[in-house]
Amino acid sequence: MAIWVVDGRGPVWYRRFRWVAYASALAVMVWTTLMVLPFAPFSDVPPIIVGGGPGVWLVIGYLLFLAVGVGGFGAMASFLVTVELQEGRAVDSRIMWPAITLLSFGYAGSCLLLGAAGAIGGYESTFETASAKAIDDLLSPYVYPITALTLIAVVGAALALLAMARARRPST
């Protein structure tokens, strides 16, 4: 197995993606704990989820945070282990820095906004019995920022895949 050296530490990108996966797992544990705490305002979350409607946004944000944050970054780290350690190829940091930054910012922002919108809209729907029009008006401002952040995450993922595909063996 060929191992090359970057900054005297060996391959680093798989470690960075793995670190984001670990941080995401910790954030999911915190999010899970907050959703099940038995005192206000956290005790309002289960009825919001059961109520459906905007509460579904909360659940989707949570599940996507788990899937992309832990699963997606974990999978990218695994791909990078193959590229960096097993194949001994160097990944271009000029592409990977923007990739990990955009992917992290985009996925975290979109998932957290989905969760916040779902919690706010679900509260209004479940506890304040707001009308469907009022809920739509409340959720509408979230749609474009969530869409933009999702596209930012997709660009970051595409850059990471491009960097892995273009990885080359270091010249000796």
pLDDT at residue 72 tops 50:
yes
The CA distance from 22 to 73, in Å, is: 9
Q: What local confidence, expressed as pLDDT, does residue 52 receive?
A: 85
Q: What local confidence, expressed as pLDDT, does residue 6 receive?
A: 47
Q: DSSP code of 91? A: P
Q: What local confidence, expressed as pLDDT, does residue 130 receive?
A: 87
State the burial class of residue 62 (Cβ atoms within 10 Å of its Cβ: 0-12, 13-18, 19+). buried
The single-letter code of the amino acid at 122 is G
Q: What is the pLDDT of residues 98-149, one digit of tens each?
A: 999 999 999 999 999 999 999 999 999 989 888 999 999 999 999 999 999 9
Q: What local confidence, expressed as pLDDT, does residue 22 receive?
A: 97
pLDDT at residue 1 tops 60:
no
Q: Given pLDDT bands bounded at 50, 70 and 90, which one contains residue 172?
A: low
pLDDT at residue 151 tops 80:
yes
The CA distance from 46 to 36, in Å, is: 7
The single-letter code of the amino acid at 165 is A
Q: What local confidence, expressed as pLDDT, does residue 5 receive?
A: 45
pLDDT at residue 88 tops 60:
yes
Q: What is the pLDDT of residues 8-35, one digit of tens each?
A: 455 799 999 999 999 999 999 999 999 9
Q: What local confidence, expressed as pLDDT, does residue 11 receive?
A: 75
The CA distance from 117 to 1, in Å, is: 48
Please give the average per-residue pLDDT across 49-53, as a whole number. 88
- What are the Cα distances from residue 38, in Å, to 17, 34, 101? 34, 9, 36
pLDDT at residue 171 tops 90:
no
